[in-house]
Structure 1
């Protein structure tokens, strides 16, 4: 396998902050366009991200529901970007005037690194509102770790209900609240409800009628991306499955797992999933780059950063003008991030070679959402699809879009096996505390050793 050169003195250094959609795809584009220069060390590309992989987020709900292996929704950065320098670290500060960034590695002291060009692709993090109890009891679905935890937690709640006769404990364990009616929230509640329904088939005390699912949305509709008619149809489908869809409703409190909603509802819940919006990664505030009133980096139609030289941006942390709609900005979704990153990489190459830049313009191709096994909703190119056809289109589209041939084949294998075998509904919550049994055994051994000593002293 080819390896990146260290870079000759004076060679341009391109720093990419973030290894998600924009970061990885931009690096891939640069790797393709500057292959010879990278091998000879005439250009150097560094990708900095706390994780050693890129997460294909549209697959997280299916990973949480057990339809796809969590390992297959992530793409290893080092294997995918052999000509780039990949660093597992977090950028904590950026001074673009002086062209340096502070990088905090996984271990050891922080380091200052210099660069010539910077690509801000740090993405977004959950927008957590100051709601009492939310930070202590909620979880999002933005990372593969959260998907694994949510799956184990939900299945563990079913086991709690199956193993007790206490009605209060059972009722709390079997109540699941999802806040946010966008893609992430709707797909999460639909996939998890589908999984729990399957899991109850093997239980004696817990039945589908015992499950209580809530989808809470502040607006007057869900899935605005697919249009009002399709959003209304989706809400009706979810309600038909027993999911209580509450629109124009806010979460007021979640202290101690006791849920309070703005419509006056109050009940205990063992699971609270928060998907009510995102905000740019905190690193954008720790820079001297221009931001808009929503904390996003100001971008031009060429994906350069407004008012500065040698700086680029795209994706969730950027306000990129939508040239197809006057006065609007591109929505923060995978469709735009993927296309922006390819143009971003091309424009960087054009800048290095003294050529003129091209503007970003892309018409929305529509939206797709999975609602559980064999269920979905989509509006590709203006066509309205529901149920099985939409589910098939959802899988076909994302199966093609997931990066690398390796991951495409692994995801396809997961889906193929699911046609012949039932999904696993086993909670592996102990993997999140792998030393618990070891520590318990060690404690018992210490007690056995100390007990005779105490007897001798007595």
Structure 2
């Protein structure tokens, strides 16, 4: 009989324990065991926070799979999909080409992946903690922040460097906050310019107590102990957004130079594409962990929804359960190969452990509740025993013992030396760049608006001189001229920008003709404004009130659901060359010009197509509180003849419209002509 091929997808706790159990119960000639995992090592995730806090070396929290699983084929190709009906997997081979592999049994243990997009701006500004790479980057960032704070001569900026915000009050969040707090505060004796009061570590949790998995008594102990160590708690607080300055709560803003997010996960792409019933992104299984309706496909760990026969409750996504599921699913596969009946998953929780920093922990083991140093000693002992090899246990045990006597390692290995293209999120009032700063990045606006603020001897507090919206860019002049920033850029509304590092910008702008042409046009346009050469024009624009130029918006207001046919009739019946689009008759949602209409018709847009599909969405607009100077800058930047005016940038209630013709006429009325020129006579009626 040919050997059965058993494929395991995922090298976490569940997948590794499954492979170990199968290898122990099946002879090599009975089954070919193949484990797919993108990394060639097992990450011992409960110790990632210790790696961030320099309690452990990064090497101590990983174990090479090939050394851990002798007799198992370990492959690092990425699995792209599973054909359950055809009993075949698709993976990306070493050369980037798709390959297929048939199986007799497949065990899905691929877990979940981080998804910081659950909170606006979190993916742009927060550090996740899911992989050993995440731990390495975060550790380097924390130590870099301390180095910057040491040489910073601005007390407020120094405190910002040393402000750390951890989002999530579960095991990962509590352990990470405790480790960062220990690392920073215990290392202050090596920094002469940093004081203990400069450091702030804030733990934010959406519930009223930390660590919901353990007893109320131990939760309260953990909270008090961490507060005594210097960690600030914000409970019953839900993070609404994240920016480069910190995180926004419903009624508060917490400043933080470092944000760590331990919440937010999503289904892995393999599971997402799987043709099988799911619940909240997790695979639904039968009691024996088989996929529903499948005889040779199984699922365990975070990616699966498995009911525990011991108490009838869904299994929590923890390493303790994943490991036990891996063992039991392996036993069920062996029983299936032998023609024996399978057994449902059943497991009684052995205990819960969590380190809270300062050689202190909380633990519940076999009905006993422990806290303080004894719980910390038990916590370390349990995890030391769980490490999968004797050599690793000895190495980690020595490191822990060493730190009881000697200080933590403060070496800062740079991990982000290569510039890249990234995204960033800013809230209204946040400064994206500041006047006088050295040039470092080029920015393209994806969503929202920014305002250009310039300080001068006449206006030391700064004056808003322009506003930019989606599709506009800024930061190019300082980069190309290699001069300090000539003005500040401040978020006017919530803003999403694409950021290019200096070297990336230089390379692309030289080789990409459209970008080079756009930069040339923008620089010419922005450097040749009439008021920059004529102080009288600038003074007049500063004095004009925008309200004097506002005209009623053209009627009617169109709806996003109006069809191309209906919009065409509106242009035919009314003299206006443009209309605003509003879903409720008040809020500005879009704009359609006669040119847009003709373009849609020439592009073959069908008559029944809704206006929302071809209008200008979220067009650039002015606020009632804007100055005429901002209006002139907006006309120049966008090349528009008219701009909508809204009551404010949040509600975007339509107030009216401003025409560039009327603004020019007003300037000509009050500003004398240049020397040697006269005003042309008005022709007779």
| 1-structure distance, mates of 2:398, 2:122 | 38
Match of 1:27 in 2: 19
> Residues 119 and 161 of structure 1: is their aligned pair in 2 closer, same or farther, counting only changes over 3 Å?
same
8 A Cα contact 1:279 1:317, kept in partner:
no
Measured after TM superposition, the shift of residue 65 of structure 1 is: 0.9
* Paired position in structure 2 for 1:90: 78
Deviates most, 337-346 or 388-397: 337-346
Equivalence map 1:119-130=2 (5 Å): 119-130=107-118
Number of residue pairs matched by the alignment = 421
Alignment of 1:236-255 (within 5 A): 236-255=224-243
Does the aligned pair in 1 maintain the 2:277–2:292 contact within 8 Å?
A: yes
- 1:352-431 maps to which residues of 2 (within 5 A)? 352-428=337-413, 430-431=414-415
Q: Which residue of 1 aligns with 2:163?
A: 175
The residue number in structure 1 matching 2:101 is 113
Partner residue of 1:12 out of 4, 7, 12: 4
| Alpha-carbon distance, 1:156 to partner | 0.7
TM-score (norm 1): 0.88
Deviation at 1:135, TM superposition (A): 0.8
Give the Cα separation in 1 of the matches to 2:94 and 2:163: 37
The whole-number CA distance in structure 2 between the counterparts of 1:242 and 1:260 is 21
User: Counting helix residues as a fraction of each chain, which structure ranks higher?
Assistant: 1
Q: Deviations over 1:105-135 (max 9, x none)?
A: 4652221221121100001222434422211
- 1:103 deviates by 0.8
Once the 2 structures are TM-superposed, how far is the Cα of residue 277 of structure 1 from its aligned partner? Answer: 4.3
Counterpart residue number, 2:216: 228
How far the C-alpha of 1:222 sits from its partner, in A, is 0.8
Secondary structure of 1:160's match? helix
Q: In structure 1, how many angstroms separate the alpha carbons of the residues matched to 2:227 and 2:403? A: 26
Secondary structure, aligned partner of 2:89: strand
Alignment partners' CA distance in 1, 2:49 and 2:93: 30
Shift in Å at residue 299 of structure 1? 1.9
Say which SS state the counterpart of residue 63 (structure 1) adopts.
helix
| Pairwise CA distance, 1:230 | 1.2
Q: TM-score, normalised by structure 2?
A: 0.59
> Deviations for 1:27-74, whole angstroms, at most 9, x for unmatched residues?
11111111x3x2x3x421111111000111111111111111111111
1:178–1:214 Cα contact (<8 Å) kept = yes
Deviation at 1:373, TM superposition (A): 3.9
Distance in 1, Cα, partners of 2:362 & 2:257:
29
CA displacement at 1:417 relative to structure 2: 2.3
Q: CA deviation at 1:174?
A: 1.0
Give the whole-Å Cα distance in 2 for the aligned partners of 1:119 and 1:288.
Answer: 15
Instruction: Measure how far apart 1:343 and its partner are.
Output: 1.2
State the secondary structure of the residue aligned to 1:306. coil
| Residue in 1 that maps onto 2:173 | 185
* RMSD of aligned residue pairs (Cα, Å): 1.9
What is the CA–CA distance in structure 1 between the aligned matches of 2:418 and 2:122, rounded to whole Å? 26
Higher relative contact order at CA 8 Å, sep ≥6: structure 1 or structure 2?
1
- CA 1:107 to 1:389, structure 2 compared with 1: closer, same or farther past 3 Å? farther
Partner of 1:283 in structure 2?
Answer: 270
Please say if 1:50 is aligned against 2:42. Answer: no
Deviations 1:170-189 (A, max 9, x none): 12211111000000100110
User: Structure 1: where are the runs of 5+ without partners?
Assistant: 1-7, 437-442, 444-458
Structure 1 residues 277 and 368: CA distance shift in structure 2, 3 A: farther
Alpha-carbon distance in structure 2 between the residues aligned to 1:228 and 1:100: 48
Q: Are the aligned partners of 1:133 and 1:257 in contact in 2 as well (CA < 8 Å)?
A: no
1:320 aligns with 2:306: yes
